[in-house]
Structure 1
């Protein structure tokens, strides 16, 4: 099968391209810009386009399927040519469904935790040598690729993202998967650029619940009131299995999870991650992994890439980076580090980087999210605000929105870096939260600070 990717350089797209080539497909692709690590990984597999840009001449009747990425626009020259030729055009999630429609589809959804829960499930299955197909949004230890497709796996495990499918398919990705087994971890308003009201955002999860196949299974976080209400009121004839945060304790900076065999140390920490473990356990049990085997495997799970990832440590200080950017994630992550290291000075830094986080009307959602920190910093780039065509955001607006005493706000990356490198790191826990890199901060240098 001959498949062409329009916008092959995306984090998800390039992994799918590699997976399809591994499966024996003939793969080609285009993009106008490709960043690392996608660029190097595509090059290693012989899939990096010879030149950046869009080339309609590449689109011919010899192509069996086009896979269209969100980075492309509706007027993309290659897309227009494909439409004119009447070629089959798939969005990324639509193509994944086609690859898995004869499998048992396991879809992990929620405003927060879905990447980590999916990663936990895959870690447990891999630990016990259980082969499954999958798509996950982070690089995992022990896995070469973020996507795997085969002809013989019984299960397909999918991270269910609520963002839009493609420039010409405005449905959320997770509406297309029709899960047999699903998990819903929580709902907290995000993606304000496509879901302008909270009610509109919540509706997407209602549709997701209704898309579970008749007689399917929904594992859900009953501690989230919005999730609980949606699940209790759905008319979809599905089996419902609630979960909640399990008992645990923190001793000298180490988390112990209560199990039937007594307290067990785990590598991850934070109430939200212990809740994630409870959800992952239910899913693994529905996939045939018993409780004892689950606990044996999860003890060695170190976390998904960029999720409370330790990037530096000295005799008395420690540093983490985390992908947290939405208000609920910022609060949960900050609280997790605070509770794990109660005797350390917690310096929490947040980069406002996404469309939602830089929206002046959305800023109020961040109120008290950094309250658990002893010292807090917010970084944002006024240039990023302009690029996203948003109204200007002032430092005073940010300080008022966060409602955090002595909050520092930086707009210049050099000033922020100078601040970090001028600190005296004594008994400190540093938390760097961002879906970006603070205007060019080298996270590998953080260990030199401590």
Structure 2
């Protein structure tokens, strides 16, 4: 178990020693209505200390820059003047109205709302972004950085790559801290992480599992969370596609029992076919409108397709490798396979009668099939022998971590790969007990 120092040095921002001012005096109203006075901190601290000193102390706590601090405090005091109510007594709707403006530093304003306004859900802010920044401002930059460093260190020791952690871990940690209301890792519970797994962002939800591995290694959790299956389902654009064709595609997607990723991939192929139909065959909007000529034309179009040619509007911002170049033979084969599956299911499920045979008229051309498949790379004999030797001599010290797979399983997979030549998916399908002792020695004829 990897241990780290407990976060006992963390001291939450204490609001109890500040006097709560329930109403504004006439002097307060006069001062706060003057724009010049609202930016004069020295004058404000002597004239309206109960309103200003907590705000200035939070400036120090959050570490916001002087320029943003002045404008942020000024906008809070202006809203106090406008509502004729001290900020300690604002409603959530009043805080949201302020936080949804462009004035001041939104993370600092969120920290004020959190500590001095009892507004504990900054996630409700319309333009809430970068949860790590909000958590740093609300709880303090030092505690956030310290806890992030602790978690990164223990996850690196478990074999996670530093580059990936530095890029993504701060976001999920910020989300969990804000949800928990306490930044200390020792206060994180299994229930908090399970709730995090249901986050609307799939990226955040996936990273919660990594956090649980780190907390288990630190001794905070008894064991990591079980891995969940996440369906990366993002609704795709239907712009430029006949609505009737879209409805058939969606009906197939909602009925198919294929795996989520396969279903989504096929659905994308079908929608992209709809783009071509709208451009080249606008009179075809339903599977029953297809005939053998339509099949021949679409096969020819797919065979000549270039990367990005039938791209959906929702994918136009994606950087495509080889944009404008002919698509790979494997992509052509996958495209035609998706169409065949769609039309076969259409007829099999009794949705209508086709005017062609999908297996015959949408078959992959021989030239495409010949150029498809695996293109293995030749490995030098000396390099391969090193791999074989390594597979036979794997030891516990060679593993980065056993957090996912035990040593015995890694040894078995390595030997199977180097001695049978099976692909990864073939190895995954091997059943327990498939290996057995060789009954006799191998005798070479020479």
TM-score (norm 1): 0.22
Larger RCO (CA under 8 A, 6+ residues apart): 1
TM-score (norm 2): 0.22
Asked which structure has the greater CA Rg, the reply is 2
